[in-house]
Amino acid sequence: MKQININTSFAVYESVEELPLEVQSLMHQAVDIRKKAYAPYSKFRVGAALLLDNGKIVLGSNQENAAYPSGLCAERVAIFQSGAIYPEAKIVKLAVTAASDTNETKSPIPPCGACRQSISEYEFKQNTPIEIYFMGESGEVYKSDSIKNLLPLSFDKNFL
């Protein structure tokens, strides 16, 4: 038997104001769209903003459904929308913010497993890392240089 160790690394910003201006703007747009999420069941609102290499910004918020799990997370709403509208564009940066209607979320909240897999698919497809910034409703912001930090043993088309 042998053992492997996988290390990940994140930059930690104390607040949105500490981010580069371009990312601050992206995160503010994620916060704004988060407030428009349709989350009557979980009371947990998520907003995502993507910056594409063509300069376009694509937004998404989580959309729930009584016929669970028919809803969709904010990250996948934004990613799939960008793929439909701008199929040749590469995703450069992704900003994600989450907040609960019932309690304050100060800890950075990363994408769920399904969203990590979707981000991985697009990162693999474009052969370029996607910078991912994530936070709660306030407080620290974590930055990952690639989905590989959040999903180090990813599944891609090479396994098929």
Domain regions of the chain by residue span: 11-150
121 is in an annotated binding site: no
Is 39 annotated in a binding site? The answer is no
Is residue 21 over pLDDT 90?
A: yes
Mean pLDDT of the chain: 96
Q: What is the third-level CATH fold of 11-150? A: Cytidine Deaminase; domain 2 (3.40.140)
Cα–Cα distance measured from residue 14 to residue 142, given in angstroms and rounded to the nearest whole number: 9
Catalytic residue among 14, 75, 121, 123: 75
112 is in an annotated binding site: yes
Kindly tell me if the per-residue pLDDT of 29 is higher than 90.
yes
pLDDT for position 30: 98
**d(Cα 137, Cα 13) in Å, to the nearest integer?**
14
Query: What is the mean predicted confidence (pLDDT) over 25-42?
Result: 98
Please give the share of the chain, as a percent, with pLDDT higher than 90.
Answer: 93
User: Which whole number is the average pLDDT over 94-104?
Assistant: 97
If you average pLDDT over residues 33-51, what whole number do you get? 97
> Is 75 known to be catalytic?
yes
Mean pLDDT over 13-20 rounds to 98
* Strands of the chain, DSSP E: 11-13, 44-52, 57-61, 91-100, 131-135, 141-144
* Annotated binding residue 66: yes
pLDDT, tens digit, for every residue of 50-62? 999 999 999 999 9
Mean local confidence (pLDDT), 25-38:
98
Q: Is 122 annotated as a binding residue?
A: no
Are the beta carbons of 156 and 23 closer than 8 angstroms? no
What pLDDT score was predicted for residue 95? 98
Per the confidence metrics, is the pTM higher than 0.75?
Answer: yes
Residue 156 has pLDDT above 90, yes or no: no
pLDDT of 142 higher than 90: yes
Helices (H), 14-150: 21-34, 74-85, 113-126
Tokens of 155: 């599944």
